[in-house]
Amino acid sequence: MEKLKHRWGLTSNFQVLLIIIVFSVNGSFAAWIAKPVTQFIGLDYDTTNPWLFWPIRILLIFIIYQITLPLVGFCFGQFNFFWNFFTKKLLKRIGFRRIV
């Protein structure tokens, strides 16, 4: 626990617990949101080739996860942590250096 606190720049074990909870809740939330999005774009598990369906579904989950991570972090009071350590790095890698 101390290694995580030091690495992430946190001050309490409670913050570490909240951040781990945000990761897990957001993963489930992203998978839950990806189902209607997949159906909206016309991909159905029963009618689409699995070699096409699953890569697209996993890509959607990844994108939704990145977008919702700061939002779920906000709900748990950890927005600054997720904005600074994850979203800013992702946006910089994509090429949006001026936004962050």
At 22-65, the pLDDT tens digits run: 999 999 999 999 999 999 998 988 888 999 999 999 999 999 99
Rounded mean pLDDT, 8-31: 91
Number of other CB atoms surrounding residue 37 within 10 Å: 15
- Provide CB contacts within 8 A for 100, sequence distance 6+: 87, 88, 91, 92
Is residue 89 over pLDDT 80?
no
Do residues 72 and 25 touch, judged by C-beta distance below 8 A? yes
In the chain, domain spans: 2-94
Is the model's pTM score more than 0.85? no
